[in-house]
Amino acid sequence: MAERNCYQCSTPFVARTGHQKFCSKPCCYRERYLRKHAQIRKSQKRYYVANRPKLIAQSNEWRERQHQTKPWAPLLGTAKYRAKKEGLPFNLTAEWALATWKGVCEISGIPFVLNKRRSVFSPTIDKIIPKLGYEQNNCRFVLFGVNALKYNSADADMYAIAAAITACHRGSSIGQSVPSANKTVLASHTDRA
């Protein structure tokens, strides 16, 4: 009887037979599992390489169906990640999203554009009061452009900026002075800061 090292765990053992390679049955089973698993991975890789265009097309079709039927699903995932990262409460669910989703911005009423690339017309989840986090009664679906304009401020600030932009756009051409409505908005904003 010769002393050998186990092929799996490298533990020294005394072989009972001349062809014994493993110190125990668990080591033997583990080696078989790893060998079989390696064969399966090679087979899967060969299949993927041979059928790559077909598999990519199927994946894109599935992603597109998901994007059309549940356009809010990726938004929930990213909101949950941001909430965890910033230490904010999060209790948004798929049921909440399904009940809340209307396909249009809740502030402007403009329909969302559901593309793979983000645009100002893409949907986002807005926290009405940012400090309260992603709570069901504190969130709504709005345009990315609206959410960028609002940023971390209150709705009133966003409406004041939008009113000033509208007044400036209607009342003057390029190069003229800022209308009095804009001066009032700027003055009230600087007073708070």
* DSSP assignment of 91-132: ---HHHHHHH--SB-TTT-PBP---SS--TTSEEEEESSGGG
| Residue written as token pair 């698993």 | 37
**pTM score:** 0.62
Q: How confident is the model at residue 166 (pLDDT cuts 50, 70, 90)?
A: confident
- Domains defined for the chain, CATH in brackets: 3-50 (no CATH), 71-192 (3.30.40.220)
Strands 12-14 and 3-5: antiparallel
> What span, in angstroms and rounded, lies between the C-alpha atoms of 11 and 16?
15
Task: Flag whether pLDDT at 189 surpasses 60.
Answer: no
pLDDT, one tens digit per residue, over 33-67 is 999 999 999 999 999 999 999 999 999 998 888 88
Is the CA virtual torsion 144, 155, 110, 134 positive or negative?
A: positive
